């Protein structure tokens, strides 16, 4: 597949949609839509045989969602992947990690979007103030044991794809 031209279809401060005219290996033309979003960090805050989760309303789903803390830099801000992980953890939960270990780097939706993410395991946690953005005003955080998290996955209360992928990396890391 080769891109023959690209045009921007839509842009706002958080997302860009582009449309690529493509040529397939057999020479036939096509169109591919690509969502461009900045990469993000996801943090698994672990202590006492359990994890800290956040829950917030997710407008595209029309419901609240339990997740591991995650996010991108605000427009105009930046830093390393580790700095982003530390910032998101503190912003959403108020927790600070004495130890932060990289578990992996994943693609969010490679058939649709450019966005990728790093997964971090945060331990040696201490409590501090949160610094949630206005869009996170309804966010709550809660500690769940690993057994409770497994039950949440099994009964459909924990469905966030990146969080489930991160949990898989953690389980592989333990084996």
The DSSP line for 27-71 is S-EEEEEEEE---EEEEEEEETTEEEEEEEEETTTTEEEEE--EE
The number of beta carbons lying within 10 Å of the beta carbon of residue 24 is 10
Q: What percent of the chain has pLDDT over 90?
A: 89
Tens-digit pLDDT profile for residues 140-161: 999 999 999 999 999 999 999 9
What integer is the mean pLDDT of 78-101?
Answer: 96
Where does 40-174 sit in CATH, by number? Answer: 3.90.79.10
Average pLDDT over all residues of the chain:
95
User: What pLDDT shows up at residue 20?
Assistant: 96
105-144 per-position pLDDT tens digit: 999 999 999 999 999 999 999 998 888 888 888 999 999 9
Q: What are the domain boundaries of the chain?
A: 2-36, 40-174
For the stretch 18-36, pLDDT in tens is 999 999 999 999 999 999 9
Q: Which pLDDT value is given to residue 171? A: 96
Q: Are 56 and 64 in contact (CB under 8 A)?
A: yes
The confidence score (pLDDT) of residue 92 equals 95
Tell me what the mean pLDDT of segment 87-114 comes to: 96
Task: Tell me what pLDDT residue 19 has.
Answer: 97
Residue 74's pLDDT band, with cuts at 50, 70 and 90, is: confident
């Amino acid at each position: 597949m080769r891109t023959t031209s690209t045009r921007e279809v839509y842009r706002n401060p958080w997302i860009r949609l582009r449309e690529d005219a493509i040529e397939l290996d057999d020479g036939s033309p096509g169109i591919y839509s690509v969502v461009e979003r900045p990469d993000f960090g996801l943090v698994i805050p672990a202590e006492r045989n359990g994890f800290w989760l956040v829950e917030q309303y997710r407008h595209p789903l029309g419901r609240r969602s339990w997740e591991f803390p995650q996010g991108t830099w605000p427009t105009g801000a930046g830093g390393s992947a580790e700095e982003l992980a530390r910032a998101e953890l503190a912003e959403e939960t108020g927790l600070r990690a004495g130890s932060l270990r990289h578990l992996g780097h994943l693609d969010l939706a490679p058939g649709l979007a450019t966005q990728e993410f790093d997964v971090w395991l945060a331990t040696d946690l201490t409590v501090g103030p949160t610094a949630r953005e206005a869009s996170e005003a309804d966010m709550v955080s809660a500690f769940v044991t690993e057994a409770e998290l497994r039950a949440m996955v099994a009964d459909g209360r924990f469905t966030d794809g990146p969080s489930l992928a991160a949990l898989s990396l953690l389980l592989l890391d333990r084996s």
